[in-house]
Amino acid sequence: MKKYVFSFDDFKTSSNLKIDNEDYIFDNSGTIVKSSDLKLSIDANKYDEVINIVCSVTGEMAFECSRCLELFKQKVSIVFEHSFTKEESPADITGIIEQNIVLNIPMKPLCSDNCKGICQVCGNNRNIKDCNCQENLNKEFIEEKWKQIKNNWGKYAKSKKKTHTSS
């Protein structure tokens, strides 16, 4: 992975450094990002004792929908700033770039807000073909679960009464 390190020595001849639309390889191992096609632009400016860096990451990232498990692509446009002083020079902003990309990854990627997901009974992708499994199962399922919760709560409440009265 390429490192992006800036130092005050880089600005001896000019107060501005630019990187335009450079391919950026996002190390996505172990994340929910399945693939990425990203471009990085950096505009670094030196102001007396401070260097201000404006970064822009654009492109597409592929995710797996957390409801239906289908792959989908989503456009990415991230802009952020970072400043550092002479005491902090040289500054490696590679980690900061990665952090900003990670912060913009959705916690629960969805192919669409209206995604119906996968049927828990038959495993069918309900966006492609609807089924009646859920409607038939829901009423029985909910009644059974609430019955179990009420029974367990009753046992818990009785045990609490016994411990309080025996103290």
Q: What percent of the chain has pLDDT over 90?
A: 49
Residue 100 Cα distances to 27, 76, 78, 143, angstroms = 13, 11, 8, 45
- Given the DSSP bridges, would you call strands 16-24 and 33-47 parallel, antiparallel or unpaired? antiparallel
Give the pLDDT confidence score for residue 121 in this predicted structure: 77
Per the model's pLDDT, the better-predicted residue between 121 and 139 turns out to be 121
The pTM is what?
0.70
Provide the 3-class DSSP secondary structure of residue 8. helix
Q: What are phi and psi of 88, to 5 degrees?
A: -95, 0
Give the pLDDT confidence score for residue 160 in this predicted structure: 67
Q: What's the pLDDT tens digit per position in 143-153?
A: 776 777 777 77
Compute the chain's Rg from CA coordinates. 27
Domain ranges of the chain: 5-103, 132-167
Confidence of residue 116 (pLDDT cuts 50, 70, 90): very high
What sign results for the dihedral spanned by CA atoms 153, 155, 161, 164? negative
Strand blocks (E) in the chain: 5-6, 16-24, 33-47, 50-64, 71-85, 91-92
Confidence of residue 73 (pLDDT cuts 50, 70, 90): very high
Q: CB within 8 A of 66, min separation 6: which ones?
A: 108, 109, 110
Give the pLDDT confidence score for residue 143 in this predicted structure: 75
Q: What percent of the chain has pLDDT over 70?
A: 88
Mean of the per-residue pLDDT values for the chain? 86
Say if residue 86's pLDDT is above 80: yes
CA 44 – CA 62 distance, rounded (Å): 29
Say if residue 136's pLDDT is above 80: no
Buried b (16+ CB within 10 A) or exposed e, 123-143: eebbbeeeeeebeeeeeeeee
Give the pLDDT confidence score for residue 53 in this predicted structure: 95
Say if residue 35's pLDDT is above 60: yes
